[in-house]
Amino acid sequence: MIMFQLLQQTWPWYVAGVLIGLIVPALLLLGNKHFGISANLRHACAACFPAGIKFFKYDWKKESWNFFFVGGILAGAIITALFLKNPDPVVVHPYLLKELASYGITDHSALLPKELFSWSSLFTVRGMIMLVGGGFLVGFGARYAGGCTSGHAIMGLSDLQWPSLVATVMFMVGGFAMANFILPFILHL
């Protein structure tokens, strides 16, 4: 019962940070594995299309542990969504509420605003740009950079890899530019 109550509470960021930080040495020590998510798309394509594109011709079975890792993330998200929902409303800073209202985003009843993340908003210009275009750019960028933010920022930086430092700095610059310049423009569409 105490464990269930503990899981329903919002945990401070530093608890999750420590747990994620401990995953990196555990993966390295227990099996010389690297933390990251985006490579799983390549592994899935290599498993589904064994003959064909040269990029997918490699021994993906050596990386099959990654499918269990991502499956665990998915299972954890489903369990959390079904059983461990926090009944408290999402708390948003009043200044941000005012700014979001200027973009037409007023529904804060869920974690993601329905004005942006719903089937009806998907088929608008704003929805297509943000969800479809943004999803494509994130996927393409993760492969072009040789990994995603979790792979570079968590694993690569802990390994002191110079390309991961460059990628992480560029992720942050892109995120700041998007949040402060591009997103306000798109939200006014």
Which residues touch 5 (CB under 8 Å, ≥6 apart)? none
128 with 184, same domain? yes
Q: What confidence score (pLDDT) does residue 4 get?
A: 67
The answer to whether position 79 is within a domain reads yes
DSSP 8-state secondary structure symbol assigned to residue 123: T
Per residue in 63-108, pLDDT tens? 888 888 889 989 988 987 887 776 777 788 999 999 889 888 888 8
At 46, the pLDDT band (50, 70, 90 cuts) reads: confident
Structure tokens at 158: 């802990």
> Is a pLDDT exceeding 70 seen at residue 8?
no
The answer to whether position 95 is within a domain reads no
10 with 68, same domain? yes
The answer to whether position 90 is within a domain reads no
The answer to whether position 59 is within a domain reads yes
Per residue in 151-174, pLDDT tens? 888 888 888 899 999 999 999 999
The answer to whether position 158 is within a domain reads yes
| HSE-up (13 A, CA, CB side) for residue 14 | 0
The residue ranking higher by pLDDT, 50 or 93, is 93
The answer to whether position 96 is within a domain reads no
11 with 79, same domain? yes
Top mean-pLDDT range of 41-45, 81-85, 114-118, 170-174: 170-174
The answer to whether position 21 is within a domain reads yes
Question: Averaged over 109-116, what is the pLDDT?
Answer: 82
The residue ranking higher by pLDDT, 132 or 80, is 132
76 with 121, same domain? no
Structure tokens at 70: 């991502």
72 with 146, same domain? no
Q: What confidence score (pLDDT) does residue 172 get?
A: 93
Question: Averaged over 23-38, what is the pLDDT?
Answer: 83
Mean pLDDT of the chain: 84
Q: What confidence score (pLDDT) does residue 112 get?
A: 83
Question: Averaged over 14-18, what is the pLDDT?
Answer: 85
Q: Do residues 189 and 129 lie in contact, with contact meaning Cβ atoms separated by under 8 Å?
A: yes
Q: In total, how many domains does the chain have?
A: 2
The CA distance from 22 to 165, in Å, is: 20
Domain boundary among 33, 64, 85: 85
Domain boundary among 42, 62, 85: 85
71 with 144, same domain? no
Q: What confidence score (pLDDT) does residue 89 get?
A: 73
81 with 121, same domain? no
Residue-number span of the structural domain to which 13 is assigned? 1-85
> Is a pLDDT exceeding 70 seen at residue 29?
yes
* pTM assigned to the model: 0.71
The answer to whether position 102 is within a domain reads no
At 1, the pLDDT band (50, 70, 90 cuts) reads: low
75 with 140, same domain? no
Residue with the two structure tokens 């460059």: 166
